[in-house]
Amino acid sequence: MLFNSIGYLFFLPVVVILYYLLPHQRRWVMLLAASYFFYLIWRVEFVLVLMTATAVSYYAALQMGKLPEKKQRVKYVVLTLLVNMGMLAVFKYLGFFAEIAGQVAGMFGQSRVIPSPGILLPIGISFYTFQTIGYTLDVYRGQIKPEKNIGIYALFVSFFPLILAGPIERGRRLIPQFHVRHDFDQQVFTSGLRLILWGLFKKIVIADRLAIFVQAIYSEPGYFHGVEIVIGIMLKMMQVYADFSGYTDIAIGSARLLGFKLSPNFNRPFSAQSVSAFWSRWHISLTSWLRDYVYFSLPYKFCGKPVNWRLNLNLLLTFVLVGFWHGPYWNFILFGFLHGAYMVLANISKPAMTTFNRISGLAGSPRLLKWLNITATFMLVCSTGFFFGQHPFGDSILMIRNLANFSHSGTSMVELLKNNDFVLGVLLIIFMLWFEYQVAVKSLAAKFLAKPVAVRFGAYVIMTVFILAFGVFSSQKFFYFQF
């Protein structure tokens, strides 16, 4: 069931109404049933994987809670990693490793082809696997106590607003909320509705409109050249942002209707002044998870002292993992590697850049320096867009080669500028970035809430009409569902 489907339009109100009609002690039962129903609609077999991940991590955490010392708990952490990461590896990465094994065998003159298993990827597995492992590691570290109610824990893993594509929640943040009674709060409820409406606007009106142009370029990379590819890559990053942040807004808004607070996943990433700052604003729940459970767990000392080269290596390895998490493709691995390399280079060159800014006078012009940093960061992020997708690696290389060719054009810029969908798409990007700036920096939400009810209701109606009039309803799935 998609957030932007007719089915969800009926599903969500029914769940919300039942939730507030039921006594507090029974609400979690209804939410668990609704979450499993929501997930069952995709494919019945997927539920078995979900239940296995839930049962193993619940059991491991419960056993660790009985043991006073960390060294006694290690075997249960290993159990969770073997089962949950094992399932993720089999369903998502087995085909990739089989392909590599076949290539290695070919290098040694072995003609036998290793078959690639055609295993269907359970939707949401990349997200709930990290969620269960994070919970287990928190219990292992003594940061939280294990949840004894298996139903509540199963709800934490399967909660329908986040099961498909996050945010990746922490047990210490979400599980206690299931034990607290949530009375109907009109302000919280209406804020949830606003988030859902804004998320639908970003997905249906902006992301799906941009996808028309992006898919044309990525499906025929040899046909487009020069400026067309530059525009296509920039639109790609904007499309992904509008799509995924739109999904996140709907997820957070849906949970808010029930009184739950989910973690933020985006914070105006295109205003970042460095690639490192970009990742502190983009897919925050993933990068913070990898920071806490991977980056900080890697060794960073040499001869007993912290050393920069180890920290930089850890950073590079973490972002290779970020890329690999997105999918078993060389494209994604290179995507993550480039982001890590950009951050490592920024760390290494920081003293030189500080000196350059001082000598050039840029340090005395902070506003100019800020916009130069934002522009440079945006260009670096967009440069990785060649590799962000499941298209063949050769197509990425072909687009990079054609990028330098401005002599040939499959579609002239004049024709592009005459395309109403393209012009509207660009205007909508500008509006989206401006609107989110006004909300975050200029307190637009507070000013809007101070308006009379008639004005606010009118704004909601206009937004709804705009979605119905200008939405692209041919493209349904959210971009991050493929992960």
Give catalytic residue positions: 326
* C-beta of residue 1 within 8 angstroms of C-beta of residue 11: yes
Largest Cα separation within the chain, whole Å, is 76
41-45, long-range: CB < 8 A, 24+ apart: 41/1, 41/7, 42/1, 42/123, 43/120, 43/122, 43/123, 45/122
Kindly give the interhelix angle for 171-179 and 125-140, rounded to the nearest 10 degrees: 90
Question: 441: burial class by Cβ within 10 Å (0-12, 13-18, 19+)?
Answer: exposed
| CA distance readout (Å), 221 to 109, 214, 380, 396 | 33, 10, 21, 8
Identify residue 9 by its one-letter amino acid code.
L
Structure tokens at 214: 């992006």
Kindly give the interhelix angle for 420-441 and 208-219, rounded to the nearest 10 degrees: 120
| CA distance readout (Å), 413 to 111, 237, 239, 408, 416 | 49, 20, 20, 12, 5
Structure tokens at 307: 């050393």
C-alpha torsion 289→290→294→297, nearest 10: -60
DSSP 415-437: HHHH-HHHHHHHHHHHHHHHHHH
402-408, long-range: CB < 8 A, 24+ apart: 402/221, 402/222, 402/224, 402/225, 402/226, 402/229, 403/225, 403/226, 403/229, 403/230, 404/226, 405/225, 405/226, 406/225, 406/226, 406/227, 407/225, 407/226, 408/225, 408/226
Q: Which residue has the tokens 């329908």?
A: 160
